[in-house]
Amino acid sequence: MEPIDAAPEDHRAPANANAMAFATLFALSLAFLFVAYCMARALIGGFGANFATIALSAVATAASSIFLWWLTPLADFAEIFWVHLPADRRARRGQCPHCGYPHESRATCCECGRATAPLPAWTLSARPVKRMAAILVPAFLLGCVAGEAWSLLDESRFATEHDHANESVRAHYARPRAFPATFARMWADESSELHSEPWPDFARDRSWTPKDPARRERGLGWRERASTP
């Protein structure tokens, strides 16, 4: 089986350049998948660790990773920047694409002994796809673990806040989830049981009205919302 980094000698970038490109892609992918998991966890709802909630959140996060595959060409960024672009510039100047020595239309460079023909243009192949897959798998696993830990930590903080709240507000204590899921809300019922509402149950403020007087004058449907019980 061909290694992920297998490539002709002339098509290889410095190892540290590849490492920097891979680390950058990994960091971007991890941040995206962490946010995706936290948002999926909030949309699904549920309070505390639950296998079904975690599994659904992980599936939703895996589905969202499709938006990262357009970054696949960047897995070969080091080869494009360090190999193909310099070789193209040398070829346009009539120089050897490998060492930069003027070849004067000779088929073989008299300096390095390699062919003076321009390097093949970079194309999307199996190599960057394999590299991106090798980046996304650990980023997905770590993103899910970090997202679940962040969600549980936020719920633990909410439970502590509820326990220390005044008796008058404890039965109806509520607040939004922590970033990046601030659109969702955690709340306590009359029996002090803690909940996190799923997306279908997101409450709307029926008393909302536009601040702009002109919009209030035109209505724009807010009267119906305000009058609905």
Q: What mean pLDDT value characterizes the chain?
A: 82
- Give the ranges where 10-84 is alpha helix by DSSP (H): 15-44, 51-64, 77-79
Please check whether residue 4 lies inside any domain of the structure. Answer: no
Task: For residue 96, tell me if it sits in a domain.
Answer: yes
Question: b vs e for 85-121, b when ≥16 Cβ sit within 10 Å of the residue's Cβ?
Answer: eebeebbeeebbbbebeebeeeeebeeeeebbeebee
pLDDT value, residue 77:
87
In a domain, 59, yes or no: yes
Min mean pLDDT across 6-10, 13-17, 29-33 is at 6-10
Instruction: Please tell me the predicted confidence (pLDDT) of residue 209.
Output: 63
pLDDT in tens, 181-223: 988 889 888 888 888 888 766 655 555 566 666 665 665 544 4
Does residue 212 lie in a domain region?
no
Q: What is the pLDDT of residue 216?
A: 59
pLDDT at residue 204, as a whole number? 53
Q: Which strands make up the sheet holding 174-176, listed edge to edge?
A: 174-176, 185-188, 194-196
pLDDT at 214: 67
Q: How many domains does the chain fold into?
A: 1
- At residue 149, the pLDDT reads 97
Could you give the CA distance from residue 51 to residue 45 in angstroms, rounded to a whole number? 13
Residue 157 counted as domain residue: no
pLDDT at residue 15 in the model: 75
CB burial of 212-227 (b: ≥16 within 10 Å; e: otherwise) equals: eeeeeeeeeebeeeee
- Phi/psi at 32 (5° precision): -65, -45
- Strand-pairing partners, residue 166, are none
Residue 203 located in a structural domain = no
* Nearest-10 crossing angle of helices 15-44, 126-164: 40
> Which residue range forms the structural domain that includes residue 23?
9-148
pLDDT in tens, 136-164: 999 999 999 999 999 999 999 999 998 88
Q: Tell me how far apart the alpha carbons of residues 93 and 102 are, in angstroms, rounded to a whole number.
A: 8
Give the whole-angstrom CA distance, residue 178 versus residue 199: 16
The pLDDT of 63-84, averaged and rounded, is: 89
- pTM, two decimals, is 0.74
Within a domain: 214: no
Structure-derived torsion over alpha carbons of residues 161, 166, 167, 173, reported in degrees to the nearest 10: -50
Residue 47 lies in a domain: yes
pLDDT in tens, 80-106: 888 887 888 887 888 888 787 787 777
